[in-house]
Structure 1
């Protein structure tokens, strides 16, 4: 049986980042994840405020849940229970639902951004540990993640699977 030669461009070349750049990237990523986490909390609060205001104006729970992309139970018990003393604003139903949809999209975008940053952190972590440039505890300190979590994330990951995206 004939062996096919590798075609050009099929193998990915891995070029490690130097140690100082790796430290800087991990520290920067830690700050970016913290900022993204803050924006997720803010977007979640705004969405919940909009849902609660819609509930106060008497919009049906099913329509609110559909606009927010959550279950009716979550609208009633989790979100609505925290805003029991809210006064009605008197806005039309479509205005409320449009605001909820917009804030739900903003929340999804914030969560997506945070997820992308966490993927980047994992890639940097794998690069640092698999090339033996940094030890586990230094990576954990720079990334502000417990060493046990890094160990569990590293299981089964090879250096070839790392793709650094900016």
Structure 2
């Protein structure tokens, strides 16, 4: 079992989608982004607001977010838990593991919120948006077989939210963005 999962992870990193696959995945991400923005603005969860921090923090934030949460969570919740498209997995197996992956992905956020004392991770709007992002990342991984697609979409979502839509303030603890 361990060898199969390690092979799946290697394949996820080695697989680069064809142009047609990218187009389909980008279309799905576009629908997600539109829905997320509409939900975020309608609820007041998102608002146009540039991140206020030192030049060093602003410059390093996208790099940090590439590693965590994007790389770490996508490897764990997609490459480790989901069968790679080259594996002979039935539609039922894919559905079961996709469900497990999604529940684990969404549930990890409130746990993180309790540990880090960041209330935003317990916010119902945040959890709806995380669920939608988890669905898109799962579907694009299953479609592409590449970790790079969901990782890019996860990263773009978090960077835009933190740096341009007020997310940095929601993540601050005692006035310090970490």
In which range does the TM-score fall when normalised by the shorter chain? 0.3 to 0.5
Q: Which has the higher contact order (CA 8 A, sep 6+)?
A: 2
- Give the TM-score taking structure 2 as reference length: 0.31
By percentage of residues, which structure has more helix? 2
- Rg bigger for which structure? 1
- Give the TM-score taking structure 1 as reference length: 0.32
